[in-house]
């Protein structure tokens, strides 16, 4: 429905779809779940309210995998462009969006000084569980990895796991030249 809102919204939706399909083709969704950030502003806002603070920016998606005592989060920003694009300025902007999302998640769910840390992690675990079930329903998640993911998800609720963040920026430009090296 968002794609019908305007040509810009349609282009953004197509860009997200292209990157999601690429992640699936590369096997990145076999042991990780993909969360659309805009649907969960409470997860990725600095104060947890869901309302953006002055200057606060969020990325488009977060690819989350759970490994032994580690929450591995890849923050993904997607831009749709036509023609030539000043890449360095765009890359800087994308990086700020991804770093903002990572900082919000780190401060809310992996801050050992939070009194309500267990409650916050429980909220995160419920969102991750929802997307895990969805991924499994669509047969994206590898069945051999399901048990390990669920075990680590249970641990997340009880104890503070190590949080590792990564960033990936994608520029979808059908008129541009194909690049093999990532921009960011």
The CB density around residue 166, as the number of other CB atoms within 10 Å, is 12
CA distances from residue 46 to 36, 73, 100, 101, 107 in whole angstroms, order as listed:
17, 17, 8, 8, 7
The residues, any chain, with a CB within 8 Å of residue 112's CB and separated by 6 or more, are 160
Where in 51-149 does DSSP place strands (E)?
61-67, 70-80
Cα separation, 81 vs 174, whole angstroms: 8
Read off the pTM.
0.88
pLDDT in tens, 71-103: 999 999 999 877 676 788 889 999 999 999 999
- Express each pLDDT in 109-164 by its tens digit: 999 898 998 999 999 999 999 999 999 999 999 999 999 999 999 999 888 789 99
């Amino acid at each position: 429905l968002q794609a019908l809102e305007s040509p810009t919204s349609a282009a953004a939706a197509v860009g997200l779809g292209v990157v999601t399909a690429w992640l699936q083709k590369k096997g990145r969704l076999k042991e990780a779940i993909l969360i659309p950030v805009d649907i969960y502003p409470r997860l990725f806002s600095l104060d947890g309210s869901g309302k953006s603070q002055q200057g606060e920016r969020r990325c488009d998606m977060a690819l989350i995998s759970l490994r032994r005592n580690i929450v591995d989060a890849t923050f993904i920003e997607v831009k749709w462009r036509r023609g030539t694009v000043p890449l360095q300025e765009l890359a800087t902007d994308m990086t700020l969006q991804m770093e903002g999302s990572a900082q919000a998640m780190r401060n809310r769910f992996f801050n050992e000084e939070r009194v309500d840390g267990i409650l916050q992690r429980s909220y995160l675990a419920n969102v991750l569980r929802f997307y895990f079930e969805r991924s499994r329903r669509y047969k994206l998640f590898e069945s051999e990895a399901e048990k390990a993911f669920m075990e680590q998800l249970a641990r997340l609720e009880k104890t503070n796991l190590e949080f590792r963040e990564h960033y990936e920026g994608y520029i979808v430009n059908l008129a541009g030249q194909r690049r093999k090296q990532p921009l960011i």
